[in-house]
Amino acid sequence: MLRGNLNKTLAETLTELPVSSQIFGDNLDDRIKAAKALDKTAEELRAKPVSVVSAVSITINNTTIVVFTTKTVTFMFQLQSSSVAFPYHGGRNYIRDAFIQQGLPASAIDIMMSSISPTTLRQYDITWEKWWVYCISCGRNSLMLSHSLIVDFLSIALSPDLGQHPIINKFCKRVYNMRPSAPRYASSWDPSNILTYLSSLAPNEEISLKQLSIKLITLLALVTAHRMQTFFLIQVQNVVCKSSSMEIKVPSHIKTSGKGRLQPVLVLPYFQQNPSICAASTRSCYLSRTAELRSCDRLFIPFKRPHNPVSSQTLGRWVKMVLNASGIDTTQFSTHSTRHATTFAAYRAGVSLDPKYSRVDL
């Protein structure tokens, strides 16, 4: 019908070509057969889920290719956005989709999502993604759970026969013999070395703000044996000064927070015998010297501009600076070793380590 308007030479060329080549190119019959075979395979997978031994997803130039290995065959396909009702797009969004699937209101979902820490999400994200890929291979919605599907997935993920293999079993025993389990620290350091160095950083009103900052965080670490996370969360408004001591309340959620557990209250008594290493006096001086620099309510701020709240990692580096200056081997002992060293020294001195006591007197 269109050839009447075409050039004579072009019309003769089109007449000589088969119709299928003009429109669809060569090998039309082979392509139709391949498409039907692929469609038949897809129908079989939907009708009877396969038992997947392994599943791996590879993303190249924004194209995701999923490779599945069953007990009898290995196959791969390009993953389209419509392959599943809820495509995997990260742990937080995946959990939110699950709550939406259950019909929870948006306000309740926001509250429930806030109870999951970012660390927990990162820890379980890999497993959730494996579950999602597994459900694709079975043609199932990953948010519509069934006991049989979960059991099959766990049997594949855990591979119970792997640990029973004699070679694997012998290898694990050999590794244990070569590197037996041991405590993190086989020895400890004496906190008196740190206190001697901190005593030299005096008086507090004359030393640099950097020296005062690293002195205060180290004293708090020694006196309370808490983590850097706790000190990072201290707010100025939660510090209560009394006649003989100073109390620091930490209402924010920390690692040891939980249902039925009391939030920590750090009690810092005034150490009259040696004011140069008194944590309470040092904190008062620190607040006084940083009053005009503050733009936030956090206790610790940088000693250089901008004076925004410092992170727990920064506080850890400050403590490590003091450890290094005091002659402690920082290649062996980390910032966290302050908890081990100070509690061990308190134990040797006969101080009770009962959790009901909120301070350690050194």
Residues 203-221: tens digit of each pLDDT: 999 999 999 999 999 999 9
Q: Which of 231, 215, 242 lies closest to 299 in space, CA to CA?
A: 231
Dihedral of alpha carbons 40, 44, 47, 49, sign: negative
Residues 27-56: tens digit of each pLDDT: 666 666 666 666 665 555 444 444 444 445
Q: What is the pLDDT, as a whole number, of residue 115?
A: 79
Which domains are present in the chain?
A: 1-48 (no CATH), 51-158 (no CATH), 191-348 (1.10.443.10)
What pTM was estimated for this model as a whole? 0.57
Q: What's the distance, Cα to Cα, between the start and end of the chain in Å?
A: 101
Q: What is the pLDDT, as a whole number, of residue 205?
A: 92
Measured in degrees and rounded to the nearest 5, phi and psi for residue 183 equal: -65, 160
Report the distance separating Cα 34 and Cα 45, nearest Å. 17
Q: How confident is the model at residue 353 (pLDDT cuts 50, 70, 90)?
A: low
What is the H or E stretch that residue 289 is in? helix 279-290
Q: Which of 277, 279, 213 lies closest to 245 in space, CA to CA?
A: 279
Query: Comparing 90 with 300, which gets the higher pLDDT?
Result: 300
**Which residues on adjacent β-strands are paired with residue 265?**
249
Q: What is the pLDDT, as a whole number, of residue 9?
A: 67
The rounded mean pLDDT for the chain is: 76
Q: How confident is the model at residue 147 (pLDDT cuts 50, 70, 90)?
A: confident
Q: How confident is the model at residue 23 (pLDDT cuts 50, 70, 90)?
A: low
